[in-house]
Amino acid sequence: MSGCLEGERDLVEDPMGEAWEGQGVERNVMWAPWRGAGLEHLKLVQNGGGALADGVVIGIEEGTPFRVRYELRCDARWKVRELTALSLGEGKEIRLLADGEGRWTTTTEDAVRHLDGCIDVDISATPFTNTLPIRRLMLEPGESVDLEVAYCAVPALRVETEPQRYTCLERSGEGGTYRFESLDGGFTANLSVDTGGLVLDYPDLFRRVYPG
């Protein structure tokens, strides 16, 4: 799966307060749940400085509708450097910063010790965050890696650690298939992805409805 994307050189304004210059490629992707009401729109911008993801998710959790916006900033190695999530209409918000080596802080530079060692983020309401370890690790077929991720539960916006495993089942010029396992919950799914590592089909949870 290629990590090289082409595009025109431009200046991309970071909605989290920074600007970075490089080769800019923008993708717009939409997912819907396999069952029930809901939709996500992801705007993903990549350039030589990294990747910036801006997603809006509407859905239903335990019979109650929710609306959440998230922003993730990654460096050029697909390591998360900033997480922002906002519950629209309720005012709940989290914003965390990371050094890309497993250390997290608040915006006031207070250490978030319980996330020590986490490189990746998993936001429960979106399949986009599966892209993060897939692109960062670039596993070959048959390779497997166990991870501790910063798991953000939606709509509560509570962030805890969760052990997960990713296994590359196949890779080709058209994308690949990866097995995802939640090691403390027993959940397993085989995810099909495109050449950019974005999920096409997440059985029983998400399906791509706009290709980007």
Q: What is the pLDDT of residues 112-129, one digit of tens each?
A: 999 999 999 999 999 999
pLDDT beyond 80 at 108: yes
Mean pLDDT of all residues belonging to the chain: 90
Q: Rounded to whole angstroms, what are the CA distances from 14 to 27, 38, 74?
A: 15, 27, 11
Query: What global pTM score does this model have?
Result: 0.87
Decide if 21 is inside a domain. yes
pLDDT score for 23: 56
Cα 210–Cα 63–Cα 29 angle in degrees, nearest 5 = 10
Q: What confidence tier does 212 reach under pLDDT thresholds 50, 70, 90?
A: confident
pLDDT beyond 50 at 104: yes
Decide if 64 is inside a domain. yes
Decide if 178 is inside a domain. yes
Q: Rounded to whole angstroms, what are the CA distances from 22 to 49, 58, 162?
A: 6, 32, 34
pLDDT beyond 60 at 3: no
Contact between 7 and 22 under an 8 Å Cβ cutoff? The reply is no
Which 8-state DSSP code applies to residue 111?
Answer: B
Decide if 177 is inside a domain. yes
Count of domains observed in the chain:
1
Whole-angstrom Cα distance, residue 155 to residue 168?
30
Whole-angstrom Cα distance, residue 124 to residue 106?
21
Decide if 154 is inside a domain. yes
Instruction: Give the domain range for residue 55.
Output: 8-210
Decide if 2 is inside a domain. no
Decide if 1 is inside a domain. no
